[in-house]
Protein backbone atom coordinates (compact mmCIF):
# COMPACT_ATOMS: atom_id res chain seq x y z
CA UNK A 1 0.00 0.00 0.00
CA UNK A 2 1.38 3.42 -0.88
CA UNK A 3 1.08 6.52 1.26
CA UNK A 4 -1.13 8.11 -1.40
CA UNK A 5 -3.85 5.56 -0.68
CA UNK A 6 -3.73 5.75 3.12
CA UNK A 7 -5.77 8.80 4.23
CA UNK A 8 -4.38 8.87 7.78
CA UNK A 9 -0.78 8.70 6.62
CA UNK A 10 -1.47 11.10 3.75
CA UNK A 11 -2.71 13.71 6.25
CA UNK A 12 0.24 13.04 8.53
CA UNK A 13 2.73 13.42 5.68
CA UNK A 14 1.12 16.60 4.40
CA UNK A 15 1.41 18.18 7.82
CA UNK A 16 5.13 17.31 7.90
CA UNK A 17 6.25 18.73 4.57
CA UNK A 18 4.74 16.59 1.83
CA UNK A 19 7.32 15.02 -0.48
CA UNK A 20 10.17 16.01 1.85
CA UNK A 21 8.56 14.15 4.76
CA UNK A 22 10.55 11.68 6.79
CA UNK A 23 8.64 8.56 7.78
CA UNK A 24 9.27 6.58 10.94
CA UNK A 25 10.25 2.94 10.65
CA UNK A 26 6.86 2.09 12.19
CA UNK A 27 5.01 4.06 9.50
CA UNK A 28 6.96 2.27 6.76
CA UNK A 29 6.31 -1.07 8.48
CA UNK A 30 2.57 -0.34 8.59
CA UNK A 31 2.55 0.61 4.90
CA UNK A 32 4.48 -2.50 3.86
CA UNK A 33 2.54 -4.82 6.17
CA UNK A 34 5.68 -5.99 7.98
CA UNK A 35 7.21 -5.46 11.41
CA UNK A 36 9.39 -2.53 12.41
CA UNK A 37 12.20 -5.04 12.98
CA UNK A 38 11.83 -6.19 9.37
CA UNK A 39 12.12 -2.60 8.13
CA UNK A 40 15.28 -2.16 10.21
CA UNK A 41 16.69 -5.36 8.71
CA UNK A 42 15.97 -4.07 5.20
CA UNK A 43 17.82 -0.86 6.10
CA UNK A 44 20.78 -2.88 7.42
CA UNK A 45 20.89 -4.90 4.17
CA UNK A 46 20.81 -1.70 2.13
CA UNK A 47 17.44 -2.40 0.51
CA UNK A 48 15.98 0.78 1.99
CA UNK A 49 18.06 3.89 2.66
CA UNK A 50 17.48 5.19 6.16
CA UNK A 51 18.50 8.53 7.65
CA UNK A 52 20.06 8.08 11.08
CA UNK A 53 19.02 11.01 13.30
CA UNK A 54 20.52 9.60 16.50
CA UNK A 55 21.66 6.26 17.89
CA UNK A 56 18.04 5.18 18.36
CA UNK A 57 16.19 7.17 15.69
CA UNK A 58 16.05 6.34 12.00
CA UNK A 59 13.76 7.88 9.38
CA UNK A 60 13.00 7.01 5.77
CA UNK A 61 12.36 9.76 3.23
CA UNK A 62 8.99 9.50 1.49
CA UNK A 63 10.79 9.52 -1.86
CA UNK A 64 12.94 6.57 -0.71
CA UNK A 65 9.86 4.66 0.43
CA UNK A 66 8.26 5.22 -2.99
CA UNK A 67 11.47 4.16 -4.78
CA UNK A 68 11.60 0.97 -2.71
CA UNK A 69 7.95 0.10 -3.35
CA UNK A 70 8.42 0.68 -7.09
CA UNK A 71 11.39 -1.71 -7.08
CA UNK A 72 9.39 -4.59 -5.56
CA UNK A 73 8.32 -7.32 -7.96
CA UNK A 74 4.63 -7.27 -8.80
CA UNK A 75 2.60 -10.43 -8.43
**What's the CATH code of the domain at 13?**
1.10.10
Nearest to 23 by CA among 58, 70, 59: 59
- What is the domain range of residue 41? 3-71
Number of compact structural domains in the chain: 1
Q: Which CA distances in Å does 37 have to 28, 30, 33, 43, 75?
A: 11, 12, 12, 10, 24
pLDDT in tens, 2-57: 545 666 666 666 666 666 799 999 999 999 999 999 999 999 999 999 999 999 99
What is this structure's pTM?
Answer: 0.78
Q: Measure the CA angle with vertex 42, ends 41 and 46; round to 5°.
A: 115
Q: Which residues pair with 61 in a beta bridge?
A: 22
Amino acid sequence: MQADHNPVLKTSIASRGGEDALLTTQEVADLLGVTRRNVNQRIQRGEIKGVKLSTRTTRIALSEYRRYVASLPTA
